[in-house]
Structures are given as structure tokens and as C-alpha cells.
Structure 1
């Protein structure tokens, strides 16, 4: 059996390159954190727009809700690996390259924002109508209702949505690695799978799982602390 066959059959953790894994982990975390900052801000705005249009009695609101909803569903439904390829011209025009961790961020944001926006809309819909009507009857402005009622009352659901979206984002970063997006996904695919180094693929997978478990733990902890029910 040749060396490649032996390498693909047995795991050898002694040959792991710690520096490469450190860099890949940092890239994965960078992509996730930077992308999620944009996703949270844009998702909240888009979710609020969807919620407001759905609540409005105007005929035009129903039309615009359908348009925004359809566009949101389109970008949410496109498989990420295809979306990142479709966005190569846009990414290259924006950043000057379509390779590397930074180049994956536009596709990550565009893919995850509609997903989180839907979770935001659902969270806002679950807020007690009686509380909203009472605030409106007391003369609260729309901004006060959004800030002090909608956002405050839906915090547990919003945080749960952020947790789910962040974990989904980790999976997206791994897929981005298969097309040169950097991070643990690229390390697992190019050095692991393509070179028959299953040890690298296994260890990269373990690191991704550790990151996911930590994110889930932090999210659950925050939800427990802010949920007053």
C-alpha cells in the first residue's frame, strides 16, 4: 500500500500543523463575527419592515410585503455554495478578489440576513397585542414602541434566532472554504480531503463542533438570563 493509502486509512495527530489550524480557526471566527454583525443589523431592519408591512391595513403594504417576502425567500432558498459562485463578480468588484476569508463575507451576509429577518418577524409577531395596544393608547411613539416594547419583549426569541443563525453561519463558512473562502473549511477540504489527510479533516471538524457547542451554550445562557417568564 502506498503512503497516501496509509495516510487516508489511519489517523496520525502527530503531523498536525498547529499554526495552520490557529490561522484557519481565526479566519472562521473572523468571518462569522463580522458577518453576524451585519446580519443582526440588517436582519432586524428587514424583519421590522416585514412585520410593519404585514400589520398595515393599506393595500400598498400588502403588495410591498409580498415583494420583500419573495426576494427574501429567493436569497434564503439559494444553496450557499451556488450563491457564493453567483456573487463572484460582485465580490471581485467590491473587494478586488473572490478568494480568502474576507471575500466570503458578502455571500455570508446576503445568505443569512433573510433567514434571520424571518426569525425576527416571527419574534415580533409573538409579542402580546394587548401590550402594543396599551402603549399606543398611552401615546407612545412608533420608535418607543419598537425600542421599548417589540425589542424588549422579544429579546429571548431574538437571541435564540441569533444563536441559530450563527451556527448556520459556521456551516456556511465551511462550505465557503471549498471554493477558496479560507477558514477551517478550506483546511479540511484542500489539505485534508484533496490530499488524503483524514487527520486534518477530522481535527478541523472537531474544532468546528467545539465552536458550535460554545455558541449554543452562550446563546442558551443569554436566553435564560433575559427571559423573565
Structure 2
């Protein structure tokens, strides 16, 4: 077994594998965080301005909703290419791990926004009405009623987003974004090393399972607080 590993995975390749895994973690982690920072407020805004919301504004809601839907419906590989000018503006390059974070964030933010909006819809309307009856401001309703009640659903949505970003990061890696996707293409496909491709797929599966399990555990904890 040791001989087989040393033959198919020499130290240099193992080191490259570890570096690629680190790049994938950076891409998924940073884009997930940035997507949440942008997407959660956007989802809250969509819910507040929706029909029956405390800040109902049909025109604003339809306009923002259309933009969110437009980004969500764009295939990631096309989005990746379409926003290259923005990526270069923000990072100075269109390739590499840092550059891949930009399109990943753009893809994640509207996805998170819709998941947050759906979670907020599940909050009992009676709680909101009670808060309004007691004179709560819009800010108080958001931070003391809507978000606390929707936390389990929001965490579940963020978990789904991280899993999706893992797949997107592999796609970004295939066109110069680095990470495990880049490793799989350069060594597993272009250099005819199927064992490398298999190892990449296995690691991605394990990573996704770990993220999903951690997310499910956190949701259960938050649901029984």
C-alpha cells in the first residue's frame, strides 16, 4: 500500500494536493462569508418590502427581485466570464484563488437572499403583529423578532450555499481559479492520472459531507434552544 501511494502520489503531488485543498477552503469560506454579508440583508429587505411586509413596496420589491432572479438564473460558468472586468477591478487579475472569490460571491449572494427570504416568511405573523402593537420599530422587528425566529432556517440555507459553492469552486478551478478543480483538470485529465481525479472527487465528497453534517447539527441545536 505504501509503495502504491509513493508511486501514484509522490511527495510533490501530495504537497500540491494539500495546497489545492487549502485554496478550495479559502474560496468557499471567503465567498460564503461575503455572500452572507450581502445576501442576508438583501433577503431581509425583500421580505420587508414584499406584500404584507412591514415596509411593503411593490415596485422596489419587483425590481430587486428581478435582479436577484437574473443573477440566480445565469449559469455559473457564464457568470464567471461575464464579470471578468469586475473581478480584475477588485483583485487586479482574472485568474487565481482571490479572483475566483468574486464570481463565487456574486453567485452566492442572491442565492442566500432568496433562502433568507423564504426563512423569514415562515415566522409567525402574529409575532410581528404583537411587536407592532407594542410600538416596535422596523429595526426592532428585524433584529428582535424576524432574525431570531428564522435563525435555524437561515443556518440551513447557509449550509446549502456552502455545499453549492464547493461545486462552483471546482468549476472555477477548471478555468484558472486554483483549488481542487484545477488540480483535477491539470493532473487527472490533462496528464491522464485518473487516480488524482478520483482522489479529488473523494476529498470533495468528504468535505461536503462534513459541511452538511456540521450545518445539520447546528440547526438542531438552534431549533431546541
Q: Smaller-chain TM-score range?
A: over 0.9
Per-residue CA deviations over 1:183-226 (Å, capped at 9, x if unaligned) read: 00100011111111111111011111111011001001000001
Match of 2:90 among 58, 80, 94: 94
1:13, 1:199 within 8 Å by CA — same for their partners in 2? no
1:27, 1:182 within 8 Å by CA — same for their partners in 2? yes
Q: Unaligned regions of 5+ residues in structure 1, if any?
A: 1-11
Equivalent in the alignment of 1:177? 173
User: What is the TM-score of this pair, normalised by structure 2?
Assistant: 0.92
Q: Does 1:223 align with 2:223?
A: no
Equivalent in the alignment of 1:152? 148
* CA distance in 2: counterparts of 1:195 and 1:22, whole angstroms: 19
- CA-based RMSD of the aligned residues comes to 1.8
Equivalent in the alignment of 2:186? 190
* CA distance in 2: counterparts of 1:35 and 1:111, whole angstroms: 9
C-alpha distance 69-87 of structure 1, shift in aligned 2 (>3 A):
same
* CA distance in 2: counterparts of 1:40 and 1:57, whole angstroms: 22
User: What is the TM-score of this pair, normalised by structure 1?
Assistant: 0.91
| Larger RCO, structures 1/2 (Cα 8 Å, 6+ apart) | 1
Report SS of the residue matched to 1:191: helix
* CA distance in 2: counterparts of 1:18 and 1:143, whole angstroms: 51
| Number of corresponding residues | 218
Report SS of the residue matched to 1:195: coil
